[in-house]
């Protein structure tokens, strides 16, 4: 697809934070980005201070920080002053429970206000905070709390009974389980403490102790798309990147209403669903409910959302329902839409234009990078299908692997290689918990290797090819699943597509596609042939799949990523491996 979406921001009602990419890149320094924050009064840097207390202590104290939308229609509003008080109560409560700096606080809850109090309260106390997906089953919870040596767990009465009670004896490090009632008349289970009561009895002022920017702050587990999830460690200094990238890549302004649809159980929901918008002083929407297209459109319109950050899987679900559904409302305040987590098919970028009158801006990053690294910016032309260009302050390249184990940056445009970043940005992970060797192996020849394959065009735009593990080698060609999947997505019958390599004695691997259809289309031989011909015409015979299977939906992680390794394991009758993050359908 050669279409380019042109941007003209000269007369924009809200001028972008970054007017010109080249200029911003040339001028940017992480020292300046650090100076845009306050730092603790006595020196040092703490995420909770930058996100909450510095606003609560200044002109934005009464500004709406968080609007919580309950699943059943309830609304709770928190100003920066309110958030500061609740999070201080949480920190004081930890202190009273003799939980000290460096100890781990896990949060296993749906998107309830207490989750947000716990994250910042834990950070104020200088604990290491780790939010988990509430939909995890008991085993994934037990493994993560065990390897993270969780000292405190914040959860709800229902989740405690269903998932935690039976595990307690296996988690010797876990000293305190703090629960929030799901229903007002729920009893507090034995062995747990009533969080709301404890917060009510704690002081609403707390002085954050000295925090070194390099102190551990967050423990994030990766999505488990390619294998067993890894625990990535992040430090307080990451907030410098959260703040700078939210300004530059999401174009977030202090007066904005911002909605990140990701759950805090994966890194997007923490970096941009909790921390970054508050560092800017913006208003953040939190919706307790899960995806529902109509509810989402209503929310965007009613809450006058200006900047919206979502994911390809959600976009594909919205596309399934059609743009007509969107057109029943108007969104005059919506200014910028972004997406992350998986490749965003060109069709999805353009669908944004059709549905909302705005393109969807793809950006790329990982749990390990802690913040957005490559992005399509508000002021920059979009090449649909490209992840955009590296953030100011981020040096990226694609490298080839050498026979001696080293790597070499590829200068020529259009050549595929592994996407690599020059270490040194503040939100870079500082380790994989208990996997020192694996962490070390990520760094070769002065580069951090991402495990993703990409190519860069002559103008410095990056194009995602596939995860190194997912790339298919067929008759001497290297085939990225993304390109093939995008060809399927261009067909009106296709809702989702996942592509794998299937071992073949002649070709090495054959391309096989799994396709889920939109409502109104039924699988069948005629459609199979039509799809094969359709993608062959776009991709050529060497790259086009030889086989297509229809599935009702594709297996995905809870963060919405297609699990190609699972499609492959099932196809080949191999063990499914770690499926702790598999979304149950």
Out of Mg ion, ligand ATP, none, which partner does residue 130 contact, by CB within 5 to 8 A per kind? none
Among 47, 340, 360, 472, which residue interacts with ligand ATP (rule: CB under 6 A)?
340
The DSSP line for 164-182 is IGGGGGG-TT--EEEEE-S
The residue written with tokens 């560092």 in the block is 279
Distance CA 361, CA 347 (A): 12
Number of residues near ligand ATP (by CB under 6 A): 28
Q: Which of residues 175-234 bind ligand ATP (CB under 6 A)?
A: 222-227, 229-230
Cβ neighbours of residue 194 under 8 Å, at least 6 residues apart? 178, 179, 181, 188
Among 343, 390, 480, 560, which residue interacts with ligand ATP (rule: CB under 6 A)?
343
State the minimum distance, in angstroms, from the CB of residue 230 to Mg ion. Answer: 8
Q: Which of residues 484-543 bind ligand ATP (CB under 6 A)?
A: none
If binding is defined by CB under 6 A, does position 87 make contact with ligand ATP?
A: no
**Beta carbons of 441 and 429 less than 8 angstroms apart:** no
Among 362, 416, 418, 485, which residue interacts with ligand ATP (rule: CB under 6 A)?
362
State the minimum distance, in angstroms, from the CB of residue 369 to ligand ATP. Answer: 8
* C-alpha torsion 165→168→169→175, nearest 10: -140
Distance CA 299, CA 198 (A): 33
**Beta carbons of 123 and 293 less than 8 angstroms apart:** no
Our CB check for Mg ion shows the closer of 222 and 581 to be 222
State the minimum distance, in angstroms, from the CB of residue 339 to ligand ATP. Answer: 7
Our CB check for ligand ATP shows the closer of 261 and 366 to be 366
State the minimum distance, in angstroms, from the CB of residue 368 to ligand ATP. Answer: 6
**Beta carbons of 192 and 83 less than 8 angstroms apart:** no
Our CB check for Mg ion shows the closer of 202 and 394 to be 394
DSSP code, position 520: T
Distance CA 311, CA 314 (A): 5
Find the part of the chain contacting ligand ATP (CB under 6 A) among 33-41, 114-122, 336-344, 536-544: 336-344
State the minimum distance, in angstroms, from the CB of residue 340 to Mg ion. Answer: 13
**Beta carbons of 305 and 259 less than 8 angstroms apart:** yes
State the minimum distance, in angstroms, from the CB of residue 224 to ligand ATP. Answer: 4
**Beta carbons of 380 and 391 less than 8 angstroms apart:** no
Out of Mg ion, ligand ATP, none, which partner does residue 580 contact, by CB within 5 to 8 A per kind? none
Our CB check for Mg ion shows the closer of 225 and 345 to be 225
Out of ligand ATP, Mg ion, none, which partner does residue 269 contact, by CB within 5 to 8 A per kind? none
DSSP code, position 161: I
Distance CA 422, CA 203 (A): 44
**Strands 75-79 and 128-132, bridge-based pairing:** unpaired
Out of Mg ion, ligand ATP, none, which partner does residue 100 contact, by CB within 5 to 8 A per kind? none
If binding is defined by CB under 6 A, does position 464 make contact with ligand ATP?
A: yes
Find the part of the chain contacting Mg ion (CB under 5 A) among 68-76, 91-99, 220-228, 247-255: 220-228
Strand locations in 442-541, DSSP E?
A: 443-444, 447-456, 462-467, 472-474, 477-479, 494-504, 508-517
Site string for ligand ATP, 433-452 (x = CB under 6 A): -----------------xxx
Residues forming the site for Mg ion (CB under 5 A) = 222
Residues forming the site for ligand ATP (CB under 6 A) = 222-227, 229-230, 266-267, 340-344, 362-364, 366-367, 387, 450-452, 464, 467, 559, 561
């Amino acid at each position: 697809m050669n279409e380019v979406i042109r941007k003209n921001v000269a007369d924009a009602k809200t001028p972008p934070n970054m007017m010109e990419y080249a200029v911003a890149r040339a001028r940017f320094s992480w020292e300046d980005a650090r100076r845009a924050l306050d730092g603790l009064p006595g020196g040092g840097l703490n995420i909770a201070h930058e996100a909450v207390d510095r606003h609560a202590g200044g002109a934005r104290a009464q500004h709406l920080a968080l609007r919580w939308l309950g699943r059943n229609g309830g609304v709770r509003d928190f100003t920066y002053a309110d958030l500061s008080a609740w999070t201080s109560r949480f920190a004081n409560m930890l202190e009273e429970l003799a939980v000290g700096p460096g100890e781990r606080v896990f949060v296993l809850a749906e998107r309830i206000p207490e989750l947000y109090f716990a994250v910042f309260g834990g950070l104020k106390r200088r604990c290491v905070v780790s939010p988990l997906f509430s939909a995890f089953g008991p085993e994934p919870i037990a493994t993560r709390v065990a390897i993270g040596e969780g000292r405190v767990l914040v959860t709800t009465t229902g989740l405690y009974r269903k998932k935690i009670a039976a595990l307690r004896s296996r988690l010797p490090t876990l000293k305190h389980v703090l629960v929030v009632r799901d229903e007002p008349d729920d009893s507090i289970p034995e062995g747990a403490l009533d969080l709301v009561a404890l917060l009510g009895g704690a002081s609403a002022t707390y002085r954050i102790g000295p925090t070194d920017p390099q102190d551990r702050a967050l423990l994030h587990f990766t999505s488990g798309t390619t294998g067993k999830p890894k625990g990535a460690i992040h430090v307080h200094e990451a907030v410098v990147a959260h703040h700078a990238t939210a300004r530059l890549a999401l174009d977030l302004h202090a007066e904005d209403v911002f909605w990140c649809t990701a759950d805090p159980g994966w890194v997007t929901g923490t970096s941009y669903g909790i921390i970054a918008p508050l560092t800017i002083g913006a208003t953040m929407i939190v919706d307790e409910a899960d995806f529902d297209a109509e509810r989402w459109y209503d929310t965007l319109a009613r809450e006058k959302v200006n900047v919206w950050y979502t994911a390809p899987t959600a976009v594909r679900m919205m596309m399934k329902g059609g743009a007509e559904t969107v057109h029943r409302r108007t969104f005059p305040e919506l200014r910028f839409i972004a997406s992350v987590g998986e490749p965003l098919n060109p069709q999805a970028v353009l669908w944004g234009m059709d549905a909302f009158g705005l393109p969807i801006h793809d950006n790329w990053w990982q749990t390990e990078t802690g913040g957005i690294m490559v992005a399509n910016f508000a002021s920059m032309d979009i090449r649909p299908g490209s992840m955009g260009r590296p953030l100011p302050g981020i040096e990226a390249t694609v490298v080839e692997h050498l026979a001696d184990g080293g790597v070499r940056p590829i200068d020529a445009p259009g050549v595929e290689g592994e996407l690599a970043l020059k270490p040194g940005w503040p939100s870079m992970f500082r380790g994989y918990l208990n996997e020192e060797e694996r962490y070390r192996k990520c760094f070769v020849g002065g580069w951090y290797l991402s495990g993703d394959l990409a190519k860069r065009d002559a103008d410095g735009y990056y194009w995602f090819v596939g995860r190194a593990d997912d790339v298919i080698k067929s008759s001497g060609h290297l085939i990225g699943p993304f390109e093939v999947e995008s060809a399927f997505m261009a067909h009106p019958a296709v809702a989702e597509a996942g592509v794998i390599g299937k071992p073949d004695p002649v070709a090495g691997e054959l391309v096989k596609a799994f396709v889920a259809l939109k409502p109104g289309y039924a699988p069948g031989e005629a459609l199979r042939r039509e799809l094969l011909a359709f993608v062959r015409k776009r991709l050529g015979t060497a790259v086009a799949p030889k086989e297509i299977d229809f599935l009702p939906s594709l297996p995905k992680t809870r963060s919405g990523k297609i699990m190609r390794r699972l499609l492959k394991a099932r196809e080949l009758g191999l063990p499914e491996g770690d499926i702790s993050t598999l979304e149950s359908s």
